[in-house]
Structure 1
């Protein structure tokens, strides 16, 4: 019987080739979209799942005076880890992590620059499950100047030789030797912590590190199983009060714990999160899943529509089978088997599509997604089962419907499908296009919002500026390098700063002396700059003047932004901003405010402009150099800068990034979300159009004699086309009417997440409606015109 079912299924697929192709293509695209999104979702959800301990990351909420709002940061204080372990039995162990980028290591013959190394406690490998190939997990980092390197680092430094026990040197502000005490397997890509080596934190321990006033590392704790994290967090105010009793400073902080498995995807509101590789909002991941499911549902709806529409073609087959003894269950199983077979064929095509598309998907997502079916049998079995289930769900209604035909009525030709079944098909078509129109509107607004943020004037210049990271050696030669670069007309300006605009800048406490009253202490974003910073970035002043050129002004002059000026004058509302010029402001030994800069977006457009001040202390040095190059001579300028760098700082590689590219990275996640939504919206409208094409073809086919009669009576081709197309166009218009309010509500809620946002323009809704109607007309008209130009003699010929 099964063999008969298979033969019957293949025969019917071949008999209705056009509709079979539409069904298979629609299902395969829907399944392929789901597979790709599932691969991404599984990858995202796999982050840090290989760790077996009950690990949490300790973070802070900082509520300093003068802040626009409290902020969450991933940082913590050096003494917090051991103090938590001593005070609370639930804290079984702890480890602290301090990162260092572009770390230079060398042996006798090779010198390499590692992208990132971590200074950490000896308990690091007792808490985390990174694979140690050589060495002892418990003791490898106990002694100062110990280092564990990864396989890749070992290969770079020692080739195929055994590195254990050998010494590597670090050349920087100090020359330090480290003994290799272990070799790790390369860090998995789905780890938030990425590193090329682990160094003992005791190697850099100094007395100032024990202070309860500095936040400069990450702390991870291992908690006892079953620990109630809320109960532990409720004890943290008492913990802070115990160790930070002076001036009630403990009230400025809150501590919270995040499970290691949630750090990657659930901490987008946490700043200064430097050790969170490929951080991505889980809400976006969930959104992708929902949209991919919608695309798959649209494909299933196509199948149901086309199958029920063509069910009259198989009514006589059902009648004959029932008349010779076939049961309804047998017929239903036959039709379900056919849909399952069709969906399996669609699965094979979907896998081919996924394989071809994965390189593009990986470039877009900056992930390394793989479709490893044979190396992962569970995935293969899961996909097959999913596809069969999809086929069964898509074919369940047609199977029940077809098997319900009464043989007497069918064989007499008394079966009519016009009323109830066409009504259901209309509902499904409207549902399809409502979903597609909704996604199209959402895509347009997401893209418009992203372009708005990228193109909106941030209040400073970004064109033709590159930034160059400076290490400890380069910092000391900054002045020499600056003068060498300015000697050439290819360079229009050079300046230095503590950080790059567009990054999360540091905050610090600062004092302000009002005209009347004691010194007021508040916290604000701060940026160390040299005297040419404002000129190079074209930052305008509202009042006052730039930094003085004299050395005596360094560290004694401050330029604040308008937002901070308003904060300083909040108790003097009648005073103008200019009145702040010359007032005392600064650190322990107060300097003066020399200028007020117009507000500029030193962060992304996701956030409002916060309070900030700029100052210059040459002794602190700069971690970034900004160079403005002449327009049209980029290649020459870069070659010149590289040559001067090599002459001045020969032992450190030259690296640079255009500020424009840096801001593209700032909005990278937004770009990814907009492109993925756009692609899925395109697939939704394409699959919906396929279904419309099939229904229009079937409608024209079933009305061929009606069309012939109308043409004999004088109907024109335009009349016939409108006759066939008009019904479907009404459905598309209805789909737009349903989708518009839903899209408006969703976009209104989404745009409220941005500090700077576009307005909801009704012209977008109208444009999408026109596009959807044009797409539908183009899809339908092909079949409509084809039916309208048929010679009525042929269409009216007796069968």
Structure 2
């Protein structure tokens, strides 16, 4: 472009400042949204790719297929002794186990426990993971059972600026032991599900009695292969391996009940677990599509406005041709102007993305940065493509018009009926996507609010959960003493202990319950151990029968003789699962085959777990001393300020068991962890929807501006012939609203299919009411009317004489 072309572009932009701001701003916002969401998708798909040679690491998944089990599906966990058996059957297997991780241990300093992400691993850990080291050498470190490797952050935290190599730490997992630091590794980045700051060797004695039980899942098992073909070949042998090794616990054809699969470690983050029909992958894909569609809307809007306004420059083109400009020069000018304008928008969009990243990172706990080495070339390509698309209309079409015909014409050419239809089609597409976004946002907000407010079967207000009661460093007598001390606190009205609590705390266990007269092992039910007053603390609703009490000896499952029937309480979901017609019909019945269980009561369902997981059939066992069982969790009913009560409970804990970090939260805090991903997706989706509507309105404004400018003389003639201002307004608004109304035909099917798919991930969900569609369309219509009304009013109020003389 020469300096005259640049001067023309400058005059065009400064003469129509509002048009230039809206056109460039709309595209810049679209580019910024696309960049931020693209970086989010890139971050979510980059998990574990920070590991050197990550493409050779596979996690072993346990895949359950049990009748009506709450645990069906694939889980990246295995029994503890799986790797030992694999090495026996497949010599040369390269693998390691990973036990613990986030919040799984503590460091004792001065008798006070500090919670840490401690993981126990095999001596072969560095044969699988090439963990980047800052100090020392990890290979061979874990052959000595008292060696430890810590992160750079942990080294600064515990040793300051001194050299940590050779120094000691008292680390507690199953027991408190002193370890010698022999290495420091680089901090694990945020885009990793392997949360650890301290690595210590797995104990040589299995840490649990279920270590070699094929029904357990206590560790993560990782294998390394040289090639993908080797991994696939190994995976094909796993079916026979499960049948052979799992015969005792799983019976014949064990692989029909439990399979083992290999999953590349870089896919582990986005794979669904269990029966969650919607996973992080769906969220990432959805937000990626939102980013692409927002960019597409912005591009369409820019092209539409650019081509519309270009029609008003037909006489400028004619004058240039009269003054000697040839078609090639005109094409170069218009393409250059368009590319330069898009480049300005791209730079502004990049600035907006850079400014918004800190806010997005803080809100989502992310660590995204803009990789300019990738973004810069992509933006250059985008600028060229959009610039050519936007500039091709004036460059090719307008430069083709004969100069004499244009100058002699009463009005500037605008592309004729075909040009009008193309512009309207673009507006239809824009508003169709914008309305679909609005419908989707409305449904997302309604569903997330419904999940937060729906009845969970218990009173979630005034409830605290203390998960650290299950720490192995506390003996049963201390646990009972802590529970008694908490019960005596002011504001605490009751406390109960079980092996499960709201928020998914504690253990997740299930077993098959054989049914009388029905062949087979029977359906699989979740089972939960509860202590005295557990149901009273939660405010459970009794549907039939009675609850556990001290007057019935068989209520204490610990005291029931072997082979005798234990008393159980079931939930509503278990009624049909066990084949009963009603709650009253279930009371008094005995199920369980060789391990008989007599149903004494039925309670309403209590949803402790993720709302995306189906609420499972459950039975409850009663232990009078639940503190003696594994993984006990305390549930506390209180009144008053939750912060004051939580502080008082923490004070009791730190006074009585300072060797264990306190881990307690309100029930609402625990439940919020289930809602965070959907809340984040809803916010991002809402931002995309709002910006899509805004950009669509800019496009509609451009179309209205273009059409109104071209119809000034027509309006003057209509008013001369007796048309009132209101008649003119109705005519213009009606014509401008036509593409918006047609856009609903595009939006409604898209939104219906997308929202039905998303809602299918929730067992308890709202109905996809037509009101969401009608409300979104009404909002779009109102916004569209307000967008074009000002121009229509201004055009209708013009004096006929001025309109007829208008050029």
Q: Which TM-score applies when normalising by structure 2? A: 0.89
Higher mean C-alpha deviation, range 145-154 or range 754-763: 754-763
Higher mean C-alpha deviation, range 700-709 or range 611-620: 700-709
**1:330-409 matches, cutoff 5 A:** 330-371=329-370, 376-409=372-405
Partner of 1:561: 571
Higher mean C-alpha deviation, range 419-428 or range 632-641: 632-641
Partner of 1:438: 436
Asked if 1:671 is matched to 2:654, the reply is no
- How much has 1:332 moved relative to structure 2? 2.2
User: Relative to structure 1, is the Cα distance of residues 333 and 527 closer, same or farther in structure 2, using a 3 angstrom cutoff?
Assistant: farther
- How much has 1:606 moved relative to structure 2? 2.2
Deviations 1:292-335 (A, max 9, x none): 22222222222222222222332233234445654434322321
- How much has 1:732 moved relative to structure 2? 1.3
Residue-pair matches, total: 783
- How much has 1:280 moved relative to structure 2? 6.2
Query: Could you say what secondary structure the match of 1:149 adopts?
Result: strand
Asked if the contact 1:303–1:395 (Cα under 8 Å) also holds between the matched residues in 2, the reply is no
- How much has 1:454 moved relative to structure 2? 2.3
| C-alpha distance in structure 1 between counterparts of 2:532 and 2:592, whole Å | 18
Aligned equivalent of 2:588, options 570, 581, 593: 581
Aligned equivalent of 1:254, options 242, 246, 259: 259
Asked if the contact 2:70–2:526 (Cα under 8 Å) also holds between the matched residues in 1, the reply is no
Asked if 1:693 is matched to 2:701, the reply is yes
Asked if the contact 1:505–1:527 (Cα under 8 Å) also holds between the matched residues in 2, the reply is no
Asked if the contact 2:147–2:180 (Cα under 8 Å) also holds between the matched residues in 1, the reply is yes
| C-alpha distance in structure 1 between counterparts of 2:349 and 2:446, whole Å | 32
**1:503-542 matches, cutoff 5 A:** 503=504, 506-508=507-509, 510=511, 523-542=524-543
- How much has 1:452 moved relative to structure 2? 2.3
Asked if the contact 2:82–2:212 (Cα under 8 Å) also holds between the matched residues in 1, the reply is no
Asked if 1:268 is matched to 2:272, the reply is yes
- How much has 1:263 moved relative to structure 2? 0.7
Deviations 1:344-386 (A, max 9, x none): 21122223322332233224433122336xxx44433433443
Partner of 1:276: none
Partner of 1:275: none
Query: Could you say what secondary structure the match of 1:177 adopts?
Result: strand
Query: Could you say what secondary structure the match of 2:539 adopts?
Result: coil
Asked if the contact 1:82–1:94 (Cα under 8 Å) also holds between the matched residues in 2, the reply is no
- How much has 1:508 moved relative to structure 2? 4.0
Partner of 2:153: 152
| C-alpha distance in structure 1 between counterparts of 2:661 and 2:79, whole Å | 32
| C-alpha distance in structure 1 between counterparts of 2:163 and 2:279, whole Å | 38
Asked if 1:684 is matched to 2:680, the reply is no
User: Relative to structure 1, is the Cα distance of residues 548 and 688 closer, same or farther in structure 2, using a 3 angstrom cutoff?
Assistant: same
| C-alpha distance in structure 2 between counterparts of 1:655 and 1:693, whole Å | 56
**1:539-554 matches, cutoff 5 A:** 539-549=540-550, 553-554=556-557
Partner of 2:646: 638
Asked if the contact 2:86–2:93 (Cα under 8 Å) also holds between the matched residues in 1, the reply is no
Aligned equivalent of 2:798, options 760, 779, 790: 790
Asked if the contact 1:689–1:776 (Cα under 8 Å) also holds between the matched residues in 2, the reply is yes
Asked if the contact 1:475–1:621 (Cα under 8 Å) also holds between the matched residues in 2, the reply is no
| C-alpha distance in structure 2 between counterparts of 1:774 and 1:220, whole Å | 57
Quote the RMSD (CA, aligned, Å): 3.1
- How much has 1:740 moved relative to structure 2? 2.1
| C-alpha distance in structure 2 between counterparts of 1:124 and 1:394, whole Å | 56
Gaps of 5+ in 2: 561-566
Deviations 1:623-662 (A, max 9, x none): 42211211x4434433432333333233444442221222
Deviations 1:773-793 (A, max 9, x none): 110011111222222333445
User: Relative to structure 1, is the Cα distance of residues 171 and 508 closer, same or farther in structure 2, using a 3 angstrom cutoff?
Assistant: closer
Asked if the contact 2:545–2:584 (Cα under 8 Å) also holds between the matched residues in 1, the reply is no
**1:37-116 matches, cutoff 5 A:** 37-51=37-51, 52-53=53-54, 54-64=56-66, 67=69, 70-88=72-90, 92-99=93-100, 101-106=103-108, 113-116=114-117
Higher mean C-alpha deviation, range 315-324 or range 182-191: 315-324
Higher mean C-alpha deviation, range 279-288 or range 539-548: 279-288
Query: Could you say what secondary structure the match of 2:294 adopts?
Result: helix
Deviations 1:721-769 (A, max 9, x none): 2222110112211112332233223333433333222222112222122
Partner of 1:21: 21
Asked if 1:613 is matched to 2:619, the reply is yes
Partner of 1:604: 610
Query: Could you say what secondary structure the match of 2:169 adopts?
Result: strand
Aligned equivalent of 1:627, options 625, 636, 648: 636
User: Relative to structure 1, is the Cα distance of residues 565 and 545 closer, same or farther in structure 2, using a 3 angstrom cutoff?
Assistant: same
Partner of 1:727: 735
User: Relative to structure 1, is the Cα distance of residues 168 and 639 closer, same or farther in structure 2, using a 3 angstrom cutoff?
Assistant: closer
| C-alpha distance in structure 2 between counterparts of 1:512 and 1:312, whole Å | 76
Higher mean C-alpha deviation, range 724-733 or range 237-246: 237-246
| C-alpha distance in structure 2 between counterparts of 1:668 and 1:105, whole Å | 30
**1:759-770 matches, cutoff 5 A:** 759-770=767-778
Asked if the contact 1:114–1:196 (Cα under 8 Å) also holds between the matched residues in 2, the reply is no
Higher mean C-alpha deviation, range 328-337 or range 499-508: 499-508
Asked if the contact 2:515–2:522 (Cα under 8 Å) also holds between the matched residues in 1, the reply is no
| C-alpha distance in structure 1 between counterparts of 2:172 and 2:266, whole Å | 36
Query: Could you say what secondary structure the match of 2:143 adopts?
Result: coil
Query: Could you say what secondary structure the match of 1:472 adopts?
Result: coil
Higher mean C-alpha deviation, range 57-66 or range 616-625: 616-625
| C-alpha distance in structure 1 between counterparts of 2:89 and 2:14, whole Å | 75
User: Relative to structure 1, is the Cα distance of residues 253 and 25 closer, same or farther in structure 2, using a 3 angstrom cutoff?
Assistant: same
- How much has 1:80 moved relative to structure 2? 2.2
Partner of 1:318: 317
Gaps of 5+ in 1: 273-278
| C-alpha distance in structure 1 between counterparts of 2:722 and 2:448, whole Å | 54
- How much has 1:691 moved relative to structure 2? 1.6
User: Relative to structure 1, is the Cα distance of residues 584 and 682 closer, same or farther in structure 2, using a 3 angstrom cutoff?
Assistant: closer
